[in-house]
Structure 1
Amino acid sequence: MWLAMLALMLIFALSLAVAPVQAQERPVSFADLAEEVSPAVVNITTSTTVAAQMNGNFPQLPEGAPFQDFFNEFFNRDGQQQPRPRQSQSLGSGFVISEDGYIVTNNHVIEDADEIRVEFFSGLTLTAQLIGTDPATDIALLKVEHDAALPAVRFGDSEAARVGDWVLAVGNPLGQGFSVSAGIVSARGRALQGNYDDYLQTDAAINRGNSGGPLFNMAGEVIGVNTAILSPTGGSIGIGFAMSSNVAGRVIAQLQEFGTTRRGWLGVRIQDVTEDVADALGLDRPLGALVTEVMEGPALDAGMVTGDVILRFDNGGVADTRDLVRRVADAGVGRAVDVIVFRDGEEQTLQVTLGLREESSAAARPGPDAAPPAAPAEILGMELAELTDLVREQMALPAGTTGLVVQSVEAGSDAETKGLRGGDVITEAGQVPVSTLAEFRERVEEARDAGRRTLLLMVRRGDDPRFVALSLER
């Protein structure tokens, strides 16, 4: 008997221990929240004039045929065969962020539109003016004029959203009118295609027409702008993406003030640091952003060079290239920031005054003069040859380009595994420019003598430079 009583007491104690988890606050209904925020959510209809393309496939009528005059007038305006243009319409969603009529939506909802109409929950319909767009984040800002104050919602802190938090998506799915759907935050920090992506993933139903609509937290704050779905069918399967409010809010503030974005610009091309690249550079672990090219601009003026690894930017550590790109963009134009780089086995601090990305030039620094050619040779699983004027011309390389051209790659070699192929140009080995086979061999032996397992190469393919760490095992 006493064993049974002891077991019951243990069960009761365990139930008390887990009670706080089971008693977490859960909404009985989303009705109050939907009623609160819906007046600030709008349906967006756009109209675009599209010129019809006949491509010569217009009716050919014999002389004297009935309706010939009608067809001649229709297809031969101004002496040319001109089919009538047609009107294309698209639907989307948006939300009001100020009582004086500023409205947020997606760029792809209003792109190339001749007319933008905004319908409110109350039935009020107004014509909107485009203030500015940012294709990089797919954000657009509109403005409507109205005599009375309009219902508005505010941005919340998307960084405070946790995986598992409840969210509410409001919009105009498939043109059916105002609709709400509930779900949770499924993941954070998702990237789709852009450099500035910071998406919240949600299983709240998002379909065509929801684009540009808001994703609310339970406080009625916008923590995301519904933008895209992942679906093999085109309909919601529970994988939707909303651009985080922290990114969207900064973009909107710039569009509101300047009509365009004003992102900071460092003036470098970068790539992630892999384990083999870290080993080749002498880093303890893979972190930071590896500079593959320095252009005319802020970084060059500050003394940054190709092969530097950016470890810290503006008093914060750099996790990877995506982290650095976003932080540079948000840092502010004209600001002087400290950038700590890893170079030649030690850290150096550079002070960089950031430029304006939207006005940046993509001109890279010229390389050193070319050296005399030598016979091709096989090194590290690659057949390498020195560049000549004839080879530069055949490969359409800029005059003065130096390095070694990869003529072929041995099957099964580490070079093949790392993606090298014929036509690639190796401009550096061990972070030192190379233009002759002798220089390349010297870099190989130096790395081996230093106990390195890999040799870091700068490889250019077309306009894209990247670092590749090749194994030195014989």
Structure 2
Amino acid sequence: MASPRTTLLTLSMAAAFGGFVATACREALDHQAQAAPATAATLPAVGALPTAVGSTPMPSLAPMLARVTPTVVSVHSKQRVRVSPFNDPMFSQMFPGLTQERISESLGSGVIVDAARGLILTNHHVIQGADQVSVTLADGRTLPAEFLGSDPDTDIAVMRVKADKLQAISFANSDQLRVGDFVVAVGNPFGIGQTVTSGIVSAVGRSGLPGMGYQNFIQTDASINPGNSGGALVNLNGELVGINTASFNPRGAIAGNIGLGFAIPANLAHDIAEQLISNKGVVRRGTFGIESQDLTDAIARGLGISADGGAVVTRVFPGSAAARAGLRPGDVITSANGQRITGRDALRNFEGLQSLGSRVGLQVLRDGKPVQLQIGLQEQARSVAGGDVDPRLAGATFVELPASLRNAGLSGVLVESVARGSRAAQNGLQAGDVVLASTVGAFDDLAAFRAGFTQRPSELALRVMRGNQQGVLPVR
């Protein structure tokens, strides 16, 4: 009997992070899907898979997907952008009449999570800056979508549509997800239509990805391609375990799939979505009320401990949650709720993912001895008026840096807006400036920025990053 011939079918596709943008895709994030070889022993002569082998039915995901696919939608966004023929911004300002308006379109995915209210979850980056958003349901209907709010730091956005006969997905408890669990990704890659890919959970609690916000990702080898962003990652029961958000390849899109896909855990997505809905598009976050830095070898020697990672508390703000819990400068935070804290960034990432008012158990080294502390999180101010910290900054509004900028290595505060003709405007501050430090010293965040002006300096200067350039701005 002739030996069976083996056919290998390989499908290669480049992938990029986020929604599939018609005009540009980000490099360094990609995917490739590869089918396993099929042998003649498992293929009938007519070329169709059998429904059973003997009396045993063949396993199939089709019944589960029949329930899931109607809950996943395609998301279409349009944005009007002004395009100038000049590369130099100065010439663009001098000749504004030569700029042209262009429509930028992008595609992504979304998940219906509440059929009665028409609520849909997607990624913030899928609809970011959009002037118009619509969704296409699995049954072919295309509907306008109302934007309810988004959170750039966790990449979650909520939309609403008005339609009947919607089907919503059920949430799983993503905290129970284990490495090795089978998962299925559903979305609209490359705009070709609804597509299903499968794999396993490769890791949970993944963080440290460059250029992204607060991170607690599910990692999977299920292919997540451009356009899959905002779609569903489900378990074999058809329950939502995550919102697909990115695929990653440090060598760029040309390198092909390396099996690194990431999804936002369903529990986190649900919590952020509920906040966006109940707080009119705003996410309220808590803070410990401290400044910290990485535990280095030199600091560890000075404290008489071994340098095995941790965040050293350098400042505790009066009246903060940390002050009430008894945290002190010099304490080394090594874990929070059992999660290892490797340094300042890990502590900030953990803090940013906690619900407001939640209680956190901290493992601390104090004078070389372990100490257990319980600490709550107070709501952090979302913005500070410049005039409240120093009259010379009146007219400017300062906010926290986005987590993506923090992950790029920046510390400080962001200038959200500057009122025209205000004192801050006269001193040269502009919206979008990142204030890294001032005469009163460097600061990590908004709370430290505000606390630094307890004693107003007679002379004030700000170290500012504008675009990719840094400079010192005297303030009078």
User: TM-score range with shorter-chain normalisation?
Assistant: 0.5 to 0.7
Q: How does 1:255-274 map to 2 (within 5 A)?
A: 255-258=276-279, 259-273=281-295
Asked whether 1:189 is paired with 2:205, we answer: yes
TM-score by length of 2: 0.60
Q: Secondary structure, in 3 states, of the residue corresponding to 2:180?
A: coil
Tell me if the contact between 1:289 and 1:324 (Cα under 8 Å) persists in the aligned partners: yes
CA–CA separation in structure 2 for the residues paired with 1:27 and 1:262: 49
Q: 1:276 to 1:30 in 2, by over 3 A?
A: farther
CA–CA separation in structure 1 for the residues paired with 2:230 and 2:224: 11
Q: Secondary structure, in 3 states, of the residue corresponding to 1:219?
A: coil
Question: Which residue number in structure 2 is paired with residue 233 of structure 1?
Answer: 253
More helix by share: 1
Report the alpha carbon displacement of residue 222 of structure 1 after superposing the two structures with TM: 1.1
Find the structure with the greater CA-based Rg: 1
Q: 1:266 to 1:91 in 2, by over 3 A?
A: same
* Aligned partner (choices 228, 234, 250) of residue 216 of structure 1: 234
* Cα-to-partner distance string for 1:6-26 (whole Å, 9 max, x where unaligned): xxxxxxxxxxxxxxxxxxxx9
Asked whether 1:47 is paired with 2:65, we answer: no
Q: 1:343 to 1:312 in 2, by over 3 A?
A: same
Report the alpha carbon displacement of residue 212 of structure 1 after superposing the two structures with TM: 0.7
Report the alpha carbon displacement of residue 253 of structure 1 after superposing the two structures with TM: 1.7
* Cα-to-partner distance string for 1:370-424 (whole Å, 9 max, x where unaligned): xxxxxxxxxxxxxxxxxxxxxxxxxx9855669xxxxxxxxxxxxxxxxxxxxxx
Report the alpha carbon displacement of residue 39 of structure 1 after superposing the two structures with TM: 0.2
Tell me if the contact between 1:296 and 1:361 (Cα under 8 Å) persists in the aligned partners: no
Q: How does 1:408-423 map to 2 (within 5 A)?
A: none
Tell me if the contact between 2:155 and 2:213 (Cα under 8 Å) persists in the aligned partners: no
Question: Which residue number in structure 2 is paired with residue 117 of structure 1?
Answer: 134
Tell me if the contact between 2:84 and 2:100 (Cα under 8 Å) persists in the aligned partners: no
Asked whether 1:132 is paired with 2:154, we answer: no
Question: Which residue number in structure 2 is paired with residue 243 of structure 1?
Answer: 264
CA–CA separation in structure 2 for the residues paired with 1:401 and 1:133: 33
Higher relative contact order (CA 8 A, sep 6+): 2
Tell me if the contact between 1:168 and 1:215 (Cα under 8 Å) persists in the aligned partners: yes
* Aligned partner (choices 153, 158, 170) of residue 186 of structure 2: 170
Q: How does 1:283-298 map to 2 (within 5 A)?
A: 283=305, 286=308, 288-295=310-317, 298=320
Which letter does structure 2 place at the counterpart of 1:310?
A: I
Question: Which residue number in structure 2 is paired with residue 410 of structure 1?
Answer: none
Which letter does structure 2 place at the counterpart of 1:233?
A: A
CA–CA separation in structure 2 for the residues paired with 1:96 and 1:142: 9
CA–CA separation in structure 2 for the residues paired with 1:166 and 1:333: 32
CA–CA separation in structure 2 for the residues paired with 1:300 and 1:159: 27
Q: How many residues align?
A: 327
CA–CA separation in structure 2 for the residues paired with 1:361 and 1:350: 30
* Aligned partner (choices 217, 232, 257) of residue 199 of structure 1: 217
RMSD: 3.7
* Cα-to-partner distance string for 1:9-65 (whole Å, 9 max, x where unaligned): xxxxxxxxxxxxxxxxx98222112211000000000010011213399xxxxxxxx
Q: Secondary structure, in 3 states, of the residue corresponding to 2:153?
A: coil
CA–CA separation in structure 1 for the residues paired with 2:385 and 2:218: 32
Which letter does structure 2 place at the counterpart of 1:108?
A: H
Tell me if the contact between 2:81 and 2:102 (Cα under 8 Å) persists in the aligned partners: yes
Q: Secondary structure, in 3 states, of the residue corresponding to 1:254?
A: helix
Report the alpha carbon displacement of residue 84 of structure 1 after superposing the two structures with TM: 3.4
Question: Which residue number in structure 2 is paired with residue 422 of structure 1?
Answer: none
CA–CA separation in structure 2 for the residues paired with 1:281 and 1:361: 35
Which letter does structure 1 place at the counterpart of 2:261?
A: G
Q: 1:337 to 1:31 in 2, by over 3 A?
A: closer
Q: 1:130 to 1:399 in 2, by over 3 A?
A: closer
Report the alpha carbon displacement of residue 263 of structure 1 after superposing the two structures with TM: 1.4
Q: 1:285 to 1:268 in 2, by over 3 A?
A: same
Question: Which residue number in structure 2 is paired with residue 37 of structure 1?
Answer: 68
Question: Which residue number in structure 1 is paired with residue 19 of structure 2?
Answer: none
Question: Which residue number in structure 1 is paired with residue 54 of structure 2?
Answer: none
Q: Give the gaps of 5 or more residues in structure 2.
A: 1-56, 89-94, 390-435, 443-462, 465-476
Question: Which residue number in structure 2 is paired with residue 159 of structure 1?
Answer: 175
Which letter does structure 2 place at the counterpart of 1:309?
A: V
